[in-house]
Amino acid sequence: MTQKIDIRTGDTAVHVDQALQWIRSGLIIAAPLENGYAYLADAFDHDAVRAMHVMRGDALGIVSQVLISGQEVIDGIAREVSPNARALMSTFWPGQLTFNLYPQRGLSWDLGDDKHLDRVSVRVPSAPFVLALLGKSGPLAVASAAPAGTPPLINAFDISAREYDLAGIFDAGVLIQAPSSTIVSDGEPGIELIREGAVTLHQLQELVPDIIVSGSANPKPRE
């Protein structure tokens, strides 16, 4: 049976330790991120990641994003990280900027692509509970707790996973509606904006003036 824990009360360290215990046991939890509740699993546990995709009803080949605790972890999971990418990380992490990076060769993970794609999406979240968990758990695979193709869930009571699929829900109440993360790609010929979200193109250009804008990025006009 899924256990619901209200992280607005009690000892946060105790709640984090409970989440860590479930993660290390190969189970899936739900917890609040900046713009909605998300499922979390050990990024190196193939079965847990696969189960998370099944819970959401994802099509084959959908790849989970990876959350890490800080920029100091990046060289352990990604290669060929450019100086421009590092500058953006230093400025916008923790926060809502996601990087599509080349993963380190030899990592024993399958995030949903059957190890066919040579890219991984990585972010350091600013959500306090999940960030505290990452400091103990290591990299976590993450996917929205909303069914595939639907808006983020801002209320934990709307999570509809079957009880035997989900170990625990860490409830922070109704979240404030917030933009999605901005996504950039790091590689040749440079930093490319894939999707504009919480971090704007103009903020990125202050650090990387020659950023490339993908045809699908649909950047917002400057206000």
Which pLDDT belongs to residue 220?
A: 65
Mean pLDDT to the nearest integer, 179-200: 94
Mean pLDDT to the nearest integer, 3-21: 97
Give 31-52 pLDDT, tens digit per residue.
999 999 999 999 999 899 988 8
Question: Would you say domain 3-213 falls under CATH 3.90.870.10?
Answer: yes
Mean pLDDT to the nearest integer, 9-36: 97
Length of the chain: 223
Using alpha carbons only, what angle is made at residue 82 by residues 209 and 99, rounded to the nearest 5 degrees?
Answer: 80
Q: What is the C-alpha separation between 100 and 122, in angstroms, rounded?
A: 6
Closest CA to 121 of 45, 43, 179, 66: 66
Give 80-91 pLDDT, tens digit per residue.
999 999 999 999
Q: What is the C-alpha separation between 131 and 110, in angstroms, rounded?
A: 22
Instruction: For the chain, give every domain's residue range.
Output: 3-213
Q: Per mean pLDDT, which range of 39-43, 105-109, 170-174, 218-222 is the poorest?
A: 218-222
Q: With 60 as the cut, is the pLDDT of residue 115 above it?
A: no
Q: Per mean pLDDT, which range of 20-24, 32-36, 119-123 is the poorest?
A: 119-123
Q: Per mean pLDDT, which range of 73-82, 95-104, 208-217 is the poorest?
A: 208-217
- Per-residue pLDDT band for 63 (boundaries 50, 70, 90) equals confident
Closest CA to 190 of 166, 174, 167, 207: 207
Which pLDDT belongs to residue 113?
A: 55
Token pair for 57: 């009803």
Q: Within a 13 Å sphere around the CA of 82, how many CA atoms are in the beta-carbon half?
A: 17
Mean pLDDT to the nearest integer, 161-185: 90
Mean pLDDT to the nearest integer, 51-67: 81
- Residues sharing a CB contact under 8 Å with residue 162, sequence separation 6 or more, in sequence order: 55
Q: What is the C-alpha separation between 2 and 28, in angstroms, rounded?
A: 10
Pairing mode of beta strands 192-195, 168-171:
unpaired
Give 151-165 pLDDT, tens digit per residue.
999 999 999 877 678
- Per-residue pLDDT band for 116 (boundaries 50, 70, 90) equals low
Which pLDDT belongs to residue 114?
A: 54
- Per-residue pLDDT band for 111 (boundaries 50, 70, 90) equals low
Predicted TM-score (pTM) of the model is: 0.91
Q: With 90 as the cut, is the pLDDT of residue 20 above it?
A: yes
